Amino acid sequence: MGTYFHSVNLDEEKCRGCTNCIKRCPTEAIRVRKSKARIINERCIDCGECIRVCPYHAKKAISDPFDIVNTFKYKVVIPAPSLYGQFKAVYSRNHILTALKIIGFDEVYEVAKAAEIVSSATRKLMKKSDVKKPLISSACPAVVKLIQVRYPSLIENIVKLESPMEVAAKVAKMEIAESKNIAPEDIGVFFITPCAAKVTSVKARYENGSSFVDGVISIKDVYLKILSSLGKVRNIEDLEQAGFEGIRWANSGGESLALETEKFLAVDGIHNVITILEEVENDRLEDVEFIEALSCVGGCLGGPLTVENVYVAKTRLKKHLDAAKAKGSDVHEDEKEYSGDFALTGNVECKPVMKLDIDLAKAMKKLETLELINKELPGLDCGACGAPSCRALAEDIVRGNANETDCIFKLREKVRQLAVQMMELEAKMPPVLDKGIG
Amino acid sequence: MGLSNVLKLHFDIPANDFVSAGEASSSVKKTLSQLGIAPQVIKKSAIAMYEAEINAVIHANGGTADIEIDQDKVIIKIQDEGPGIPDLDLAMQEGFSTAPDTVRQMGFGAGMGLPNMKRYADELKINTEVGRGTTVIIRVNFA
Ligand SMILES: Nc1ncnc2c1ncn2[C@@H]1O[C@H](COP(=O)(O)OP(=O)(O)O)[C@@H](O)[C@H]1O
Ligand code: SF4
Ligand code: SF4
Ligand SMILES: [Mg+2]
């Protein structure tokens, strides 16, 4: 597997080691060391919480620069539906899609269209009797990673279908190769992403083979380019393919509403997702057959690499939804056409990064020591040691990555003890100088 | 201190605290995953313990949880000094519950707790005495 890639990274120069981020991280992946935040790579799920919370904007997501499109002869853009919420509602969807062509793409294929294909496949899956319910959507890669890391017993509940992005890339590449007679390797497919998690899901697919996406560009990075091109559009081309059901995926609840069932639960925001996954793990959810869990508050419209405020974006998306609704469509007519093609090929693996040792006996000893250390710590979870909680510090100590004196209270205790010892020593005179009354 | 080969954990289960109810089982779940125990085993232990913990909260004014983990199993002992269970066979039946409406409105009291414990535990022992309290012992094997 080699080194573990994830998109969210630190800008060393901007980071002041303020510890604001360490407590917000849902997997306790951040530590502050030598006044700089460090991300424990294999724990990071790329949720982007730390990007949002950092007051110095020192957390960034690695994505591809726009220039990457020039490395391919035929350039195809696949915009996430959340892109539509970034611009003023006076610009129609076709207007935005045409602007994408102006900035340098030969063709556009909406991820929202692929979302409809995934919805269709999911509807079929729901009807099968041998699937583990509640099914949990695999659309948000941060949530999938969270499950792999923290809720491995729920892996079998994950919908084993490719994400709309991956489906869009695959379909676009195949269709264009055939209709335009272009060699697939000459076709570059570029995803416009609202988040870091999607970048990682392309760059590090591990067990699922390589991606059909050739580059991932953040909404932030192309925003100005698109904005200035919106004014340059002369002839608005008819490029829309998706109906409102596909576009609605940008909203929390959008994926669920396409499933023709009432028995769904839509949750957004990674900390809320955790609460719900706990409930599922405790077998506490009744009458829920499908769970749509999105890492970002408000769904992908609230993605960390978007530009517009999530609530403003929501209002704007509503206009696009209404327009698509007015146009009709969405009768699920191509239910058969796409069947079976988009199953995830590999397994979603359990990534037990919380494990203290591969050997159970050793892990038990470490855990026992961890508990003992934890008991001695003040329990204030102040974060001054650079760990998100006292228990996390205890864990770091057991793993050999920290010392007890990293705790300022422990350090003070030690200093006080030393001071007492020094006083005692100081009071002792060498016998030759001792003028004591004797 | 010599390190033994049994890991012991202790939790107090507060009375009538519906918000923090389930914290002890959450914590045990975390412990088991730090030990690298198989996900399905963790799930079985967590559900069984969660139900016993909730019962102590809603039926018995809280209690204590004592966990013992060794190389091949986890033993979960939930103890309370509540009213006890007068007819255990009846209580074990699916859907049987004496939980008041208020508790039910909060989503508890479906009468599935004891049956679920039976289902997920590899061994379930219940000692109960009316007026004195209840002790539930759940064993889940690692292999
Ligand atoms: N610790 C306990 N103390 C007293 N009564 C209990 C206890 N645990 C269970 N019971 C009794 O057994 C019944 C069934 O328990 P359970 O199957 O967990 O269902 P529920 O908790 O939903 O009522 C309870 O309604 C209660 O009358
Ligand atoms: S992206 Fe999320 S998981 Fe990764 S370090 Fe930041 S807060 Fe933690
Ligand atoms: S909710 Fe959407 S934008 Fe946010 S991390 Fe998940 S896929 Fe990305
Ligand atoms: Mg119960």
Which ligand neighbours the alpha carbon of A196 most closely?
A: 3
Ligand 1 center to B101 CA (angstroms): 14
Q: Considering only CB atoms, which chain A residues are within 8 Å of B33? A: 150, 152, 352, 354-355
Q: Residue A71 burial by CB count (10 A; 0-12/13-18/19+): exposed, middle or buried? A: exposed
Same domain, A85 and A208: yes
The candidate with the shortest Cα–Cα distance to A244, out of A124, A314, A329, is A329
Residue A409 lies in a domain: yes
Same domain, A328 and A384: no
Which residue, judged by its Cα, is nearest atom 22 of ligand 1? B109
Task: State how far the Cα of A412 lies from the Cα of A394, in Å rounded to an integer.
Answer: 17
DSSP string, A324-363: HHHT---S-TTTTTTTTTTB-SS------TT-S-SSHHHH
φ/ψ (deg, to 5) at A209: 70, 180
**Closest residue on chain A to B10 (Cα):** A371
Residue A353 lies in a domain: no
Beta-strand pair A36-39/A135-136: unpaired
Same domain, A205 and A259: yes
Sign of the alpha-carbon torsion through A125, A131, A134, A138: negative
The candidate with the shortest Cα–Cα distance to A402, out of A387, A412, A389, is A387
- B128 to chain A, minimum CA–CA distance in Å? 25
DSSP code at position A178: H
Same domain, A43 and A146: no
B108 contact A CB<8A: no
In 10 A of CB A428, how many CB atoms?
A: 8
Same domain, A94 and A195: yes
Q: Considering only CB atoms, which chain A residues are within 8 Å of B28? A: none
DSSP string, A239-272: -----HHHHGGGSTTHHHHTTS-S-EEEEESHHH
- A354 to chain B, minimum CA–CA distance in Å? 5
Reported as a single tens digit per residue, the pLDDT across A136-182 is 999 999 999 999 988 988 999 999 999 999 999 999 999 999 999 99
Q: Name the strand (E) or helix (H) holding A210.
A: none
Same domain, A178 and A321: yes
What are the b/e assignments for A138-159, b being 16+ CB within 10 Å?
bbbbbbbbbbbbbbbbbbebbb
Q: What is the pLDDT of residue B2?
A: 45
DSSP string, B65-94: EEEEEETTEEEEEEEE-S---S-HHHHTST
The answer to whether A121 touches A342, Cβ cutoff 8 Å, is: yes
Residue numbers of the domain that contains A374: 360-427
B27 contact A CB<8A: no
Same domain, A313 and A398: no
Q: What is the pLDDT of residue A327?
A: 85
Residue A381 lies in a domain: yes
* Tokens at A427, concatenated: 């009071």
Q: Residue A162 burial by CB count (10 A; 0-12/13-18/19+): exposed, middle or buried? A: buried
Q: Considering only CB atoms, which chain B residues are within 8 Å of A361? A: 5, 71
Residue A369 lies in a domain: yes
- Global confidence as pTM: 0.87
Same domain, A39 and A86: no
Q: What is the pLDDT of residue A330?
A: 55
In 10 A of CB A340, how many CB atoms?
A: 7
**Closest residue on chain B to A362 (Cα):** B35
Task: State how far the Cα of A351 lies from the Cα of A344, in Å rounded to an integer.
Answer: 18
Sign of the alpha-carbon torsion through A308, A309, A315, A320: positive
**Domains of chain B by range and CATH?**
7-141 (3.30.565.10)
Task: State how far the Cα of A36 lies from the Cα of A55, in Å rounded to an integer.
Answer: 14
Residues contacting residue B11 through CB under 8 Å, at least 6 positions apart: B23, B24, B27, B64, B65, B66, B67
The candidate with the shortest Cα–Cα distance to B13, out of B42, B71, B55, B69, is B55
Residues contacting residue B88 through CB under 8 Å, at least 6 positions apart: B126, B128
Q: For chain A, how many structural domains are there in total?
A: 3
Which residue, judged by its Cα, is nearest atom 3 of ligand 2? A44
Q: Considering only CB atoms, which chain A residues are within 8 Å of B48? A: none
Residue of B6, B34, B74, B114 best to disrupt the A interface, most CBs of A under 10 A: B34
Choose among A352, A360, A367: nearest Cβ to B31.
A367
DSSP string, A289-335: -EEEEESSTTGGGG-TT--S-HHHHHHHHHHHHHHHHHT---S-TTT
* Tokens at A331, concatenated: 């009768």
Would you say residue B135 has pLDDT above 60? Answer: yes
- A409 to chain B, minimum CA–CA distance in Å? 24
Q: How far is CA B84 from CA A13, A72, B14, B96, B129, in A?
A: 63, 74, 17, 15, 5
Q: What is the pLDDT of residue B20?
A: 78
Looking at per-residue pLDDT, the higher value among B19 and B97 belongs to: B97
The candidate with the shortest Cα–Cα distance to A311, out of A323, A297, A321, A322, is A297
Q: Considering only CB atoms, which chain B residues are within 8 Å of A355? A: 33-36
Ligand 2 center to A98 CA (angstroms): 35
Mean pLDDT by 10 residues, chain A (438 residues): 74 92 94 92 94 92 94 97 95 96 96 94 89 92 93 91 94 93 95 96 78 95 96 93 93 90 94 94 87 96 96 96 83 53 73 87 93 93 94 95 92 90 84 66
Residue A146 lies in a domain: yes
Model ipTM value: 0.80
Task: State how far the Cα of B126 lies from the Cα of B138, in Å rounded to an integer.
Answer: 9
Residue A273 lies in a domain: yes
Between A53-62, A212-221, B15-24, B48-57, the lowest mean confidence (pLDDT) is in B15-24
Which residue, judged by its Cα, is nearest atom 8 of ligand 3? A195
Residue A156 lies in a domain: yes
Instruction: Give me the percent of chain B exceeding a pLDDT of 90.
Output: 76
First CA to last CA distance, chain B = 30
Q: In this complex, do A278 and B40 lie within 8 Å of one another by their Cβ atoms? A: no
Reported as a single tens digit per residue, the pLDDT across A283-325 is 888 889 999 999 999 999 999 999 999 999 999 999 999 999 9
Residue A3 lies in a domain: no
The answer to whether A115 touches A246, Cβ cutoff 8 Å, is: yes
Q: What CATH number does residue A23 fall under? A: 3.30.70.20
Per-residue pLDDT band at B110 (split at 50, 70, 90): confident
Same domain, A36 and A93: no
**Single-letter amino acid code for the residue at B2:** G
Cis bond leading into A134, ω under 30°?
yes
Pocket of ligand 3 (CB under 6 A): A 140, 142, 194-195, 197-198, 294-296, 299-300, 303
Same domain, A331 and A368: no
Beta bridge mates, A159: none
Axis-axis angle for helices A196-203, A164-179 (nearest 10): 60
The answer to whether A275 touches A262, Cβ cutoff 8 Å, is: no
Residue written as tokens 């991820």? A111
Q: What CATH number does residue A366 fall under? A: 1.10.15.40
Same domain, A21 and A119: no
Q: In this complex, do B29 and A281 lie within 8 Å of one another by their Cβ atoms? A: yes
**Closest residue on chain B to A151 (Cα):** B39
Mean pLDDT of B37-59: 93
Same domain, A211 and A154: yes
In 3-state terms, what secondary structure has residue A135? strand
* Tokens at A57, concatenated: 């904007």
Q: What is the pLDDT of residue A339?
A: 46
Task: State how far the Cα of A193 lies from the Cα of A202, in Å rounded to an integer.
Answer: 11
Task: State how far the Cα of A259 lies from the Cα of A267, in Å rounded to an integer.
Answer: 16
